[in-house]
Structure 1
Amino acid sequence: MSIKIIAAGQQPSSAAPSEYFTGQVRIDSPFQGTGSARVGGAIVTFEPGARNAWHTHPLGQTLIVTYGRGWLQEWGGEIQEINQGDIVWIPEGVKHWHGATPNNAMTHIAIAESLNGSAIEWLEKVTDEQYKK
């Protein structure tokens, strides 16, 4: 096995599935480890007002905010602001959502490990009422 380079622009952008996202969300450069590697992720861009559904990760998730301003909320907690340069660790099994603020786009690199072939468990969508800060 040798090192693999995925050149910029080699993979087309795709729209995030509306089943799990609200608003305009683009996924770029998805990656997945091979062999015994369990890590995978993608670069995700949320346009203003866009967000993902409530979800959990069996082994946690790291977010690296590369552009803009976003929001993150843990179930039962207050909405927190995340900004370019922030790194967020979400522990395993914590129900949460993340996305852009109403007036600003946000891009992050999302990294998570798979357990038994799954890195995420999607739950219900975040309502407009829940999205208000």
Structure 2
Amino acid sequence: MRIVHGRARDGLSEQRSATFTGSVWADPVLPATDGVVINDVFFTPGAHTHWHSHEHGQILQVTAGSGLVCTQGEAAQPLGAGDTVWVPAGEVHWHGAAPGSYLLHTAVSLGTTTWLEPVGEDAYPGTG
């Protein structure tokens, strides 16, 4: 058993850039443990992930702001505080803040994350 009180004590907040568009900060709640990683992720308005998938899926719990989530080949869906998203294993998707709002969510990533290309303007509402 492992108890993490509030967040990973030895973890540092870090700005993410290589696999994100815009300004994004991640705060570790639970560093990689048995293939599970939990982060609180803060997206500035319009910031979002690149396309990616998770070996065993991902859970997103939106805690503040508003955002978008999109499965490849489908239309982006709106997100707001209190929403929970289940992304099945291997599903290619992106998520992030809406163009006019910040987004804060807790991301529970299961297994290896496979990062792909940036989201094109045609797939992110408000930029095309």
**Mapping 1:13-24, distance limit 5 Å:** 13-16=13-16, 18-24=17-23
Alignment pair present for 1:122 and 2:115:
yes
In structure 1, list runs of 5 or more residues that go unmatched: none
Cα distance in 1 for residues equivalent to 2:18 and 2:8: 26
Work out which of the residue numbers 54, 57, 79 in structure 2 matches 1:57: 54
Which whole-Å CA distance do the structure 2 matches of 1:88 and 1:5 have between them? Answer: 23
> Which residue of 1 is the match for residue 91 of structure 2?
94
The CA deviation at 1:88 is: 0.4
SS of 1:130's equivalent? coil
Q: Which has the higher strand share?
A: 2
What's the TM-score once normalised by structure 2's chain length?
0.88
Match of 1:74 among 57, 71, 77: 71
The structure with the largest alpha-carbon Rg is 1
Gaps of at least 5 residues in structure 2 are none
- Deviation (angstroms), 1:99: 0.3
Is contact 2:7-2:29 (8 Å) kept? no
Normalised to the residue count of structure 1, the TM-score between the two structures is 0.85
Match for residue 31 of structure 2?
A: 32
